[in-house]
């Protein structure tokens, strides 16, 4: 345990520095994806994995390749992507009873996945062995040994997840520990103690980890669920007790009440406990990551989420505002900038220019904080976000917005009007037809196209009108489409936010639209998507010509 000190709150641990490095193991793409209402496409998973890699997460659990075609495709595509900071892990269970690991289809899928780290979950609770697996206690131990031994013999690194470990330890501590030793002696490089039902109290976590630590030689990890609202506290208590790996998900998404939320866990490890887990520079990215994963997951971002929520550093009460303006330490436990967030005075919002300036620098737009254009863009962003726009996961729309505001953008086409017709015939089949009128390079285009739905019909009509002028549009397609109602209480009059993900042979991008009319919101996002593709192609062409 790190020693306490009396250093300033401003980004310096209250516990002092610790020589131990805590490694972060993210399971958003597997355990998090089991949360109610979450369904990731393969491209969603790839994009989230890329963001996790940029943050410096040590291990990314990509999914269960033996369980479904989507996860198999994910690992197939990830084999062509080089991660800079993270290692990819594939997940599965121990071999099935009465079959050798080498012949188990799940194990074979792990070997074929291309992942260098394999995480195996096994039973440690005698209740699960006898009532769920319905095998003898000895056979369960053999399943653990055979599985891990075979995978390690294939040259892969194995992490072992001890499912229900804390319940198991309280029920039969000798058998629970023996299952860990079996995993260790078979070649597991790390063993993760799981509070799978999420009902263990923090004092019990600390006590049990302390006791187990003396009996296991390899690295220990912790995996907590939040059914009793204790997942974050339990994870940090386990670190204090000696574990070196913390598992969790971004924003705590997951089955039932969710998993341990890695966002506050990482911030607390860094800023409160002095443990090395990610760099100070990467810590500034966690607000962006949290909002990004919320948007991709099609979930509303919690405004009161610790560290990264919009309300985390918002001040409304008159006494609070008066004090915060004199000394921010009076009502803030850290500086918001340390985690990439902003202070907000609700009666007159301040700040927010940093994100604009950073993006402007990336795009070589030549803005600085004193430029009146910076203030203009910030005011525009605030106005649009008040209407329901959210640019965290719509970087393409934000780039177009900035260039339009700076008059550094020329439209590739102008809409003169569109009409969408939806018809249900006697056969009960629903058809959609879109009619669109554009002006492109001084010419009028009037096209009609059918589609599987109104948005697909609009997309087809727009491409049909533009294909002769911009042939590269044939190389892009829409890969995802998400809709969120922004104010459920408004009923059918509520605004909706549409997020469209598009991709071509090189990369993918997100665009956004907001309106009371879902077709209009979709058109905004669709038009931005096509314009961004053309803008991207124009920049690439210009840089090629320069050479």
180 C-beta neighbours (distance < 10 Å), count: 25
pLDDT of residue 139: 94
pLDDT of residue 354: 60
In the structure encoding, which two tokens stand for residue 111, read together?
A: 């070997």
DSSP classification of residue 219: E
pLDDT (tens digit per residue) in 436-467 = 999 999 999 999 999 989 999 999 999 999 99
Closest CA to 284 of 310, 259, 307: 307
The answer to whether 367 and 356 have CB atoms below 8 angstroms apart is yes
pLDDT (tens digit per residue) in 415-434 = 999 999 999 877 788 889 99
pLDDT of residue 368: 81
- Taking the C-alpha atoms of residue 90 and residue 64, their distance in angstroms, rounded to an integer, is 6
pLDDT of residue 315: 81
pLDDT of residue 219: 97
Which H or E run contains 143? helix 137-153
Contacts of 313 (CB under 8 A, 6+ apart): 332, 336, 341, 342, 343, 344
Residue 36 phi/psi, 5-degree rounding, is -65, 130
In the structure encoding, which two tokens stand for residue 150, read together?
A: 């075979």
- Taking the C-alpha atoms of residue 291 and residue 271, their distance in angstroms, rounded to an integer, is 21
Closest CA to 58 of 172, 131, 159, 209: 159
The whole-model pTM stands at: 0.73
pLDDT of residue 485: 87
pLDDT (tens digit per residue) in 237-260 = 999 999 999 999 999 999 999 999
188 C-beta neighbours (distance < 10 Å), count: 30
pLDDT of residue 351: 41
Residue 303 pLDDT more than 50? yes
% of the chain beyond a pLDDT of 70: 91
pLDDT of residue 488: 62
pLDDT (tens digit per residue) in 3-28 = 333 333 333 344 455 568 999 999 99
Give me the DSSP letters along 354-413: HHHHHHHHHTT----TT-HHHHHHHHHHHHHHHHT---TT-HHHHHHHHHHHTT----S-
Residue 493 pLDDT more than 90? no
Instruction: Kindly report each contact of residues 138-141 with a partner whose C-beta sits within 8 Å and lies 24 or more positions away, as own/partner.
Output: 139/97, 140/94, 140/179, 141/178, 141/179, 141/182
pLDDT (tens digit per residue) in 153-174 = 999 999 999 999 999 999 999 9
Closest CA to 200 of 175, 174, 237, 246: 237
DSSP classification of residue 255: S
Q: Residue 311 to residues 325, 332, 337, 343, 538: CA-CA distances in angstroms?
A: 17, 12, 14, 9, 40
Contacts of 166 (CB under 8 A, 6+ apart): 193, 194, 195, 200, 204, 205, 208
At 213, is the secondary structure helix, strand, or coil? helix
β-bridge mates for residue 61, sequence order? 89
- Taking the C-alpha atoms of residue 530 and residue 114, their distance in angstroms, rounded to an integer, is 35
Delineate the domains of the chain, giving CATH numbers in brackets.
23-296 (3.20.20.70), 313-350 (4.10.430.20), 413-469 (3.30.160.740)
């Amino acid at each position: 345990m790190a020693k306490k000190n009396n250093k300033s709150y401003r980004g310096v641990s209250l516990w002092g520095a610790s020589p131990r490095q805590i490694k972060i193991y993210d399971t958003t793409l597997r355990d998090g994806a089991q949360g109610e209402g979450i369904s990731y496409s393969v491209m969603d998973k790839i994009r989230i994995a890329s963001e996790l890699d940029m943050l410096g997460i040590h291990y990314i659990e990509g999914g269960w390749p033996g369980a479904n075609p989507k996860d198999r495709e994910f690992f197939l595509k990830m084999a062509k992507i080089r991660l800079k900071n993270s290692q990819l892990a594939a997940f599965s269970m121990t071999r099935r009873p009465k079959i050798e690991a080498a012949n188990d289809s799940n194990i074979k899928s792990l070997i074929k996945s291309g992942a260098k780290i394999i995480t195996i979950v096994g039973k440690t609770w005698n209740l699960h062995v006898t009532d769920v697996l319905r095998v003898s206690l000895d056979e369960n131990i053999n399943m653990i040994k055979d599985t891990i031994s075979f995978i390690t013999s294939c040259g892969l690194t194995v992490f072992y997840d001890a499912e229900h470990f804390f319940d198991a330890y309280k029920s039969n501590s000798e058998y629970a520990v023996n299952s860990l030793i079996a995993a260790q002696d078979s070649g597991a490089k790390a063993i993760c103690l799981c509070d799978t039902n999420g009902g263990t109290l923090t004092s019990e976590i600390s006590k049990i980890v302390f006791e187990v630590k003396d009996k296991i030689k390899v690295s220990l990890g912790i995996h907590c669920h939040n059914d009793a609202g204790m997942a974050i506290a339990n994870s940090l208590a386990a670190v204090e007790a000696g574990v070196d790996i913390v598992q969790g998900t971004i924003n705590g998404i997951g089955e039932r009440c969710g998993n341990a939320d890695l966002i506050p866990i990482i911030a607390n490890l860094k800023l409160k406990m002095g443990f090395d887990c990610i760099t100070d520079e990467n810590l500034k990215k966690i607000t962006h990551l949290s909002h990004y994963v919320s948007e991709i997951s099609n979930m509303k971002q919690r405004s009161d989420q610790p560290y990264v929520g919009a309300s985390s550093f918002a001040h409304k009460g008159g006494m609070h505002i008066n004090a915060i303006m004199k000394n921010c330490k009076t009502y803030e436990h850290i500086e918001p900038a340390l985690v990439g967030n902003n202070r907000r005075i609700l009666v007159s919002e301040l700040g927010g220019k940093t994100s604009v300036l950073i993006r402007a620098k990336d795009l070589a737009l030549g803005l600085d904080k004193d430029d009146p254009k910076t203030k203009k863009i910030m005011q525009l962003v605030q106005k649009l976000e008040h209407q329901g726009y959210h640019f965290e996961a719509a970087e393409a729309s934000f780039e177009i917005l900035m260039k339009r505001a700076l008059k550094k953008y020329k439209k590739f086409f102008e809409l003169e009007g569109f009409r969408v017709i939806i018809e249900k015939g006697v056969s009960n089949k629903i058809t959609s037809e879109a009619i669109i009128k554009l002006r492109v390079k001084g010419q009028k285009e009037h096209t009609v196209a059918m589609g599987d739905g109104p948005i697909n019909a609009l997309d087809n009509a727009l491409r049909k009108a533009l294909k002769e002028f911009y042939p590269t549009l044939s190389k892009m397609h829409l890969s995802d489409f998400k809709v969120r109602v922004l104010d459920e209480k408004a009923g059918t009059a509520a605004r909706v936010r549409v997020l469209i993900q598009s991709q071509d042979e090189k990369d993918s991008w997100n665009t956004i639209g907001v309106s009371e009319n879902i077709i209009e919101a979709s058109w905004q996002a669709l038009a931005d998507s096509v314009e961004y593709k053309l803008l991207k192609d124009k920049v690439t062409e210009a840089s090629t010509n320069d050479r």
